Amino acid sequence: MDRAPAKSFLDLIVWQKAHQFVLSVYRLTENFPKSEIYGLSSQMRRAAVAIPANIAEGFKKKGKANKARFMNIAQGSLEECRYYLILARDLKYGDVASMQLQLEETSKLLEAYTSAIIESYQ
Protein backbone atom coordinates (compact mmCIF):
# COMPACT_ATOMS: atom_id res chain seq x y z
CA MET A 1 0.00 0.00 0.00
CA ASP A 2 1.52 3.31 -1.08
CA ARG A 3 1.14 6.28 1.20
CA ALA A 4 1.24 9.92 0.18
CA PRO A 5 4.49 11.62 1.17
CA ALA A 6 4.32 13.24 4.60
CA LYS A 7 3.79 17.00 4.45
CA SER A 8 4.57 17.45 8.12
CA PHE A 9 5.99 15.35 10.94
CA LEU A 10 2.38 15.04 12.15
CA ASP A 11 1.74 12.75 9.16
CA LEU A 12 4.43 10.28 10.24
CA ILE A 13 3.07 7.16 11.91
CA VAL A 14 6.33 6.83 13.86
CA TRP A 15 5.83 10.33 15.29
CA GLN A 16 2.18 9.57 16.14
CA LYS A 17 3.18 6.38 17.99
CA ALA A 18 6.00 8.19 19.80
CA HIS A 19 3.59 10.93 20.87
CA GLN A 20 1.15 8.33 22.23
CA PHE A 21 4.03 6.84 24.21
CA VAL A 22 4.77 10.27 25.75
CA LEU A 23 1.16 10.57 26.84
CA SER A 24 1.39 7.11 28.44
CA VAL A 25 4.59 8.12 30.26
CA TYR A 26 2.91 11.22 31.66
CA ARG A 27 -0.05 9.15 32.89
CA LEU A 28 2.26 6.56 34.48
CA THR A 29 4.55 9.06 36.20
CA GLU A 30 1.61 10.97 37.71
CA ASN A 31 1.30 8.02 40.10
CA PHE A 32 4.98 7.79 41.04
CA PRO A 33 5.92 8.65 44.64
CA LYS A 34 6.37 12.38 45.25
CA SER A 35 10.01 11.65 46.10
CA GLU A 36 10.54 10.87 42.40
CA ILE A 37 9.32 14.23 41.08
CA TYR A 38 12.88 15.43 40.40
CA GLY A 39 14.21 11.93 39.86
CA LEU A 40 12.76 9.15 37.77
CA SER A 41 9.56 11.04 36.84
CA SER A 42 11.51 13.96 35.43
CA GLN A 43 14.13 11.82 33.66
CA MET A 44 11.55 9.51 32.14
CA ARG A 45 9.39 12.36 30.86
CA ARG A 46 12.41 14.19 29.41
CA ALA A 47 13.63 11.08 27.56
CA ALA A 48 10.13 10.23 26.31
CA VAL A 49 9.51 13.75 24.99
CA ALA A 50 12.88 13.66 23.20
CA ILE A 51 11.71 10.80 20.97
CA PRO A 52 8.94 12.59 19.02
CA ALA A 53 10.75 15.94 19.38
CA ASN A 54 13.82 14.62 17.54
CA ILE A 55 11.65 12.92 14.92
CA ALA A 56 9.90 16.27 14.35
CA GLU A 57 13.16 18.21 14.18
CA GLY A 58 14.81 15.67 11.90
CA PHE A 59 11.84 15.74 9.54
CA LYS A 60 12.77 19.23 8.33
CA LYS A 61 16.53 18.72 8.20
CA LYS A 62 18.21 18.62 4.81
CA GLY A 63 20.39 15.73 3.74
CA LYS A 64 20.45 12.05 4.58
CA ALA A 65 23.14 12.25 7.27
CA ASN A 66 21.48 15.12 9.12
CA LYS A 67 18.03 13.50 9.05
CA ALA A 68 19.46 10.12 10.10
CA ARG A 69 21.39 11.75 12.98
CA PHE A 70 18.16 13.05 14.53
CA MET A 71 16.51 9.66 14.15
CA ASN A 72 19.54 8.12 15.88
CA ILE A 73 19.17 10.59 18.76
CA ALA A 74 15.48 9.64 18.98
CA GLN A 75 16.46 5.95 19.09
CA GLY A 76 18.91 6.68 21.91
CA SER A 77 16.17 8.38 23.93
CA LEU A 78 13.90 5.44 23.18
CA GLU A 79 16.47 3.03 24.63
CA GLU A 80 16.81 5.25 27.68
CA CYS A 81 13.03 4.95 28.15
CA ARG A 82 13.31 1.18 27.76
CA TYR A 83 15.56 1.14 30.84
CA TYR A 84 13.29 3.52 32.79
CA LEU A 85 10.35 1.19 32.19
CA ILE A 86 12.39 -1.72 33.58
CA LEU A 87 13.33 0.38 36.60
CA ALA A 88 9.73 1.52 37.19
CA ARG A 89 8.58 -2.11 36.96
CA ASP A 90 11.25 -3.31 39.38
CA LEU A 91 10.43 -0.51 41.84
CA LYS A 92 6.77 -1.58 41.55
CA TYR A 93 5.69 1.91 40.40
CA GLY A 94 3.12 0.48 38.00
CA ASP A 95 2.36 -2.06 35.32
CA VAL A 96 4.49 -1.13 32.34
CA ALA A 97 3.89 -4.18 30.11
CA SER A 98 1.65 -2.35 27.63
CA MET A 99 4.07 0.57 27.52
CA GLN A 100 6.95 -1.79 26.75
CA LEU A 101 4.93 -3.04 23.75
CA GLN A 102 4.23 0.55 22.68
CA LEU A 103 7.93 1.33 22.91
CA GLU A 104 8.87 -1.76 20.91
CA GLU A 105 6.44 -0.84 18.14
CA THR A 106 7.81 2.71 18.05
CA SER A 107 11.37 1.36 17.92
CA LYS A 108 10.61 -0.86 14.92
CA LEU A 109 8.88 2.02 13.10
CA LEU A 110 11.79 4.33 13.86
CA GLU A 111 14.31 1.81 12.53
CA ALA A 112 12.24 1.39 9.35
CA TYR A 113 11.87 5.15 8.91
CA THR A 114 15.61 5.67 9.38
CA SER A 115 16.37 2.96 6.81
CA ALA A 116 13.95 4.58 4.36
CA ILE A 117 15.67 7.94 4.81
CA ILE A 118 19.08 6.43 4.14
CA GLU A 119 17.89 4.43 1.12
CA SER A 120 15.97 7.34 -0.43
CA TYR A 121 19.11 9.41 -0.72
CA GLN A 122 21.28 6.74 -2.37
The pLDDT tens digits of the residues spanning 50-60 come to 999 999 999 99
Q: How far apart are CA 3 and CA 36, in angstroms?
A: 43
pLDDT digits (tens, 9 = 90+) for 68-95: 999 999 999 999 999 999 999 999 999 9
**What is the pTM for the complete model shown?**
0.93
Residue 47 is assigned to a structural domain of this protein: yes
Q: How far apart are CA 67 and CA 111, in angstroms?
A: 13
pLDDT of 71 reads: 97
The residue type at 16: Q
Whether 58 and 14 have beta carbons less than 8 Å apart is answered as: no
Looking at the 3D structure of the chain, how many domains does it have?
Answer: 1
Q: Please give the distance of CA 104 from its chain centroid, rounded to a whole number.
A: 10
Residue 3 is assigned to a structural domain of this protein: no
**What value does the mean pLDDT take over residues 105-115?**
97
Q: Does 116 have pLDDT greater than 60?
A: yes
Residue 1 is assigned to a structural domain of this protein: no
pLDDT of 21 reads: 98
Domain that holds residue 102: 10-120
**What value does the mean pLDDT take over residues 93-122?**
92
Q: Count the neighbouring beta carbons within 10 Å of the beta carbon of residue 62.
A: 7
Residue 80 is assigned to a structural domain of this protein: yes
Q: How far apart are CA 46 and CA 91, in angstroms?
A: 19
